[in-house]
Amino acid sequence: MNPVVTKVILTVGVALIVAAAVVTRRAWLPAIWHAIPSVWRIAKITVAEARRRRVLQAVIALVILIIVSMTFFSYLSPQEQARMLINGGLSAITVFGIMLAIFVAAFLIPNEVESRTVYAILAKPVRRFEFVLGKYLGALIVLAAVVAIMTVVLVGVLVVQDHLVEDLPDSVFNPNIAQVVFASAMSYCALAVLTALIVLISTVSSTTMTVISAFIIWVVGSMQSQIHDLAEKATGAAKLLLLVMYHLIPHLENFDFRFQASYFVPIPVPAAISAVISGILYTGVVLIVASVFFNDRQV
């Protein structure tokens, strides 16, 4: 689609949503106000529960190990090493972040339903959408903490490595830390979008089905440009299926700025802003649908 048309659609869409929200504020504002404490309490207990699960610590430890072990490639030139560290570190953060997002989000709601812990919560004055949002917010906080820790380690390794090689003759290590942090933050945005979609799937299916669907979404979402190319060449039902996938599954590759960070290329700010805004809108819609589905679910 023409980028100008996309921008117009996006701008008009945002304007319409904001206008609708302002006009109908009396209907939803009190409910949102009432929901905040419950959402926050559920998010907090979700975080506390995740903190006590060893898998989280194991994933963080593994990623730290991977990042630190990449400094051992001493045969590379300083710049190549910087590039490899940034690309490898960001890739580890993305891949392990996504795997963690899948496993955290896929278990969020089905686990509560299967273990029946949801009974005692929904028997309290807690609306079902508050429960969904609380669980989602909890997962976001957990993922934010994990991505932040992994990013801090990556940045720390880059800074230490920079100091180590600065005295060498003709060495150019010079990583752009701001770009690394930015790329990591964008990876987190992708995780947030993916987590919302997994939460939506988990409101209507079992844990196993959710995990399988989440992996498919991750793969498809990361290769949407190829899906688009395939859709253009395909015909009939295959074309329709590919187009549906292209339009419904989030374009996770739009959040991928690893290349810019590792090759010291300036970040395309408009593309990043566009990805973030569309990600927020997509997440909002997905969470509304998830709340509607969970509202009708018999637990």
Partner 1 sequence: MASADVVLQIEGLTKIYRSLFTPAGVRAVDNLNLTVRQGETYSIVGPNGSGKTTTLKILLGLIFPTAGSASIFGKSIADLSVRERIGFLPEDAYLYDCFSGEELLDFYAGLFGYSKARRRELVDELLTLVGMQANRKVPFRECSKGMRQRIALAQALVNDPELLILDEPTSGLDPAGRHQMTLLIQEMKKRGKTILLCSHFLAEVEEVCDRVGIMYRGRLVAEGTIEELAGEPEETVVTVTDLSPETAQRLSALPAVKEVAADVVRLDHVGEKDLWQALEIIHDGGGEIVEVSRPRPSLQDIFVKAIREEVE
DSSP 62-93: HHHHHHHHGGG-TTS-HHHHHHHHHHHHHHHH
- Residue whose CB is less far from partner 1, 40 or 215: 40
Q: 254: which DSSP letter? A: G
User: Least separation, in Å, of the C-beta of 128 and partner 1?
Assistant: 9
User: Least separation, in Å, of the C-beta of 118 and partner 1?
Assistant: 8
Phi, psi of 24 (to 5 degrees): -95, 20
User: Least separation, in Å, of the C-beta of 152 and partner 1?
Assistant: 27
- Residue whose CB is less far from partner 1, 52 or 233: 52
Instruction: Characterize 57-76 residue by residue with b for buried, 16 or more Cβ atoms within 10 angstroms of its Cβ, and e for exposed.
Output: eebbeebbebbbebeeeeee
- Residue whose CB is less far from partner 1, 80 or 114: 114
- Residue whose CB is less far from partner 1, 44 or 228: 44
Q: Are 151 and 192 in contact (CB under 8 A)?
A: no
User: Least separation, in Å, of the C-beta of 181 and partner 1?
Assistant: 33
Q: 266: which DSSP letter? A: P
Task: Return the beta strands (E) in 156-230 as ranges.
Answer: none
Q: 267: which DSSP letter? A: P
- Residue whose CB is less far from partner 1, 6 or 295: 295
Residue 44's Cβ-side half-sphere holds a number of Cα atoms within 13 Å equal to 6
- Residue whose CB is less far from partner 1, 126 or 242: 126
User: Least separation, in Å, of the C-beta of 39 and partner 1?
Assistant: 11
The Cα–Cα gap between 97 and 147 comes to 7
Q: Are 93 and 154 in contact (CB under 8 A)?
A: yes
Q: Which residues bind partner 1 (CB under 8 A)?
A: 37-38, 41, 44-45, 48-49, 52-53, 115-127, 298-299
Q: Are 256 and 187 in contact (CB under 8 A)?
A: yes
Which amino acid does the sequence have at 60?
Answer: I
Tokens of 71: 């400094």
User: Least separation, in Å, of the C-beta of 42 and partner 1?
Assistant: 8
- Residue whose CB is less far from partner 1, 49 or 162: 49
The closest alpha carbon to 133, from 279, 31, 268, belongs to 31
- Residue whose CB is less far from partner 1, 2 or 298: 298
Phi, psi of 296 (to 5 degrees): -95, 0
User: Least separation, in Å, of the C-beta of 28 and partner 1?
Assistant: 15
3-state SS class at 299: coil
User: Least separation, in Å, of the C-beta of 91 and partner 1?
Assistant: 32
Contacts of 291 by beta carbon, 8 Å cutoff, 6+ apart: 128, 129, 132, 133
